[in-house]
């Protein structure tokens, strides 16, 4: 990549703004994952209910991505992004001041957090429209790498909750959210070649294309796996390996960091060897990781658990048993492949749907959120029904293999139809 040409071609302040907007939005979207261990202590919930609650923001974000994409097409991505951020600021301020005192309150708050997840349908096309096809992989990889916000959540939220109480976490979150809102308002610009506002009919036409459904399915595996693990892993590590709240957050941060940091690498790899080939390799890695994790036994509980003064007690990072570190390693490899898969999918999407980026981003992004919702819910169901998490991981390993089969089915048609028109700028 020619860096000078890259900087001259698009509008880097908008790309940076899209990254920051998506970054803090992702932090807010998945905050219930690492916070669940503290927030739900007094609600007397079953393990299935806990996994269900952390999955609500993912589902809400998935459902809101299509209307947010339409909203951005009608009024412009910048104004849509500003409105979405203001809704989140108001919600965080309310919970910081008044708290959450029932399961219903947590559910309603989780639904509002979906506006943060819907930022994907605004930030991604906003950045994409500034750049030509041969830079789409790296541009969307950079903008999408804003999901590194989940790393900060996993690292910091349990510590803040342990030290200052879970309610004050939302006050701390307001600081970066408000700061990014100001920067976004000052720096972001809508691309000059804005598309005409779309209608439900336009969405219907795009949904009538089988390629749309394939992209939605592939992204439900890659992004769904990433965001589902981001929300579910703190509960999983605390339940299955008896890690303390802070330790479970650190373990989850190690895992999701791989998915976040390697997303741009996935876009770059897809630009080099082709999105289809990259996804085939990555789906194999994901399936092997899930299958391996499913066979790991439960870790032992620390003997001094009852004597601990921590709000969520358990193993410290230095005291974790070897099986827990093996799980972290396998999750790390799988999350790395999931993150790279996200970048690979969105290297292909603009090549096929350049003129419908707002529509397709909303649809594909919604499918990714739905995948994350079902992963978190399935892990809760698996633990509640069978007593362990194996069935949930087997299911999603099978979906990754089915994604591999799907790529085999479509690759010839893609390479001989729409892929051929872009062969001079990017490999399919």
Task: For 343-396, write each residue's pLDDT tens digit.
Answer: 888 778 877 776 676 677 778 888 988 999 999 999 999 999 999 999 999 999
Whole-number Å distance between alpha carbons of 159 and 165: 9
The residues with which 243 forms a beta bridge, in sequence order, are 315
Contact 21, 184 (CB under 8 A): yes
Give Cα 21 to chain centroid, integer Å.
14
Q: What is the pLDDT of residues 402-411, one digit of tens each?
A: 999 999 888 7
Residue 37's closest CA among 248, 240, 229?
Answer: 248
pLDDT score for 330: 97
pLDDT score for 323: 96
Instruction: Write the DSSP string, 244-274.
Output: -HHHHHHHHHHHHHHHHHTHHHHHHHHHHH-
pLDDT score for 420: 41
CATH topology for the 13-191+208-302+309-422 domain: Growth Hormone; Chain: A; (1.20.1250)
pLDDT score for 40: 84
Residue 404's closest CA among 214, 262, 140, 144?
Answer: 214
Whole-number Å distance between alpha carbons of 372 and 368: 6
Contact 358, 73 (CB under 8 A): yes
Contact 249, 159 (CB under 8 A): yes
Contact 321, 299 (CB under 8 A): yes
pLDDT score for 342: 85
What does the longest C-alpha to C-alpha distance in the chain come to? 67
State the CB neighbour count (10 A cutoff) for residue 47: 15
pLDDT score for 418: 56
Residues constituting the chain: 428
pLDDT score for 270: 81
Pseudo-torsion of CA 305, 307, 312, 315, nearest 10°? -40
Q: What's the CA angle centered on 256, arms 178 and 28, to 5 degrees? A: 25
Whole-number Å distance between alpha carbons of 344 and 338: 10
Whole-number Å distance between alpha carbons of 379 and 50: 11
pLDDT score for 364: 86
Instruction: Write the DSSP string, 345-358.
Output: HHHHHHHH-GGGHH
pLDDT score for 424: 32
pTM for the whole thing? Answer: 0.85
Domain-wise residue ranges, the chain = 13-191+208-302+309-422
Q: What's the CA angle centered on 387, arms 382 and 392, to 5 degrees? A: 25
Low-confidence ranges of the chain (pLDDT < 70): 1-8, 134, 136-137, 140-141, 144-147, 194-198, 304-309, 354-355, 357-358, 415-428
pLDDT score for 425: 37
């Amino acid at each position: 990549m020619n860096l000078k040409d890259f900087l001259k071609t698009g509008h880097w302040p908008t790309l940076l703004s899209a990254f920051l907007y998506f970054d803090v939005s992702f932090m807010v979207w998945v905050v219930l994952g690492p916070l669940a261990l503290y927030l739900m202590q007094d609600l007397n919930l079953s393990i299935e209910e806990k996994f269900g609650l952390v999955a609500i923001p993912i589902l809400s974000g998935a459902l809101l991505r299509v209307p947010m994409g339409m909203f951005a097409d009608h009024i412009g991505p910048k104004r849509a992004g500003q409105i979405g951020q203001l809704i989140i600021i108001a919600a965080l301020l309310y919970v910081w001041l008044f708290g959450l005192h029932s399961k219903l309150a947590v559910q309603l708050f989780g639904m509002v957090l979906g506006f943060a997840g819907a930022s994907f349908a605004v930030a991604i096309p906003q950045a994409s429209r500034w750049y030509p096809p041969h830079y789409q992989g790296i541009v969307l990889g950079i903008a999408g790498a804003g999901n590194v916000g989940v790393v900060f959540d996993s690292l910091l939220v349990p510590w803040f909750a342990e030290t200052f109480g879970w309610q004050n976490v939302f006050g701390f979150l307001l600081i970066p959210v408000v700061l990014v809102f100001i920067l976004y308002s000052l720096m972001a610009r809508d691309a000059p070649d804005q598309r005409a506002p779309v209608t439900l009919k336009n969405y219907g036409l795009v949904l009538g294309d089988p390629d749309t459904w394939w992209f939605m399915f592939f992204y439900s595996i890659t992004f769904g796996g990433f965001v589902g693990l981001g929300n579910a892993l703190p509960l999983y590590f605390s339940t299955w390996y008896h890690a303390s709240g802070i330790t479970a957050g650190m373990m989850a941060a190690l895992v999701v960091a791989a998915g976040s940091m390697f997303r741009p690498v996935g876009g770059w790899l897809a630009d080099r060897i082709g999105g289809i080939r990259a996804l085939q390799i990555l789906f194999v890695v994901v399936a092997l990781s899930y299958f391996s994790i499913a066979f790991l036994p439960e870790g032992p509980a620390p003997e001094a658990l009852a004597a601990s003064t921590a709000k969520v007690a358990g193993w410290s990072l230095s005291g974790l048993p070897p099986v827990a570190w093996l799980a972290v390693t396998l999750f790390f490899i799988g999350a790395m492949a999931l993150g790279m898969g996200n970048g690979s999918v969105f290297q292909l999407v603009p090549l096929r749907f350049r003129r419908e980026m707002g529509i397709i981003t909303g649809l594909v992004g919604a499918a990714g959120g739905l995948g994350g919702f079902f992963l978190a819910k399935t892990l809760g169901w698996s633990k509640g029904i069978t007593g362990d998490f194996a069935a949930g991981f087997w299911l999603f390993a099978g979906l990754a293999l089915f994604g591999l089969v799907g790529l085999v089915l479509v690759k010839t048609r893609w390479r001989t139809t729409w892929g051929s028109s872009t062969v001079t700028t990017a490999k399919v």
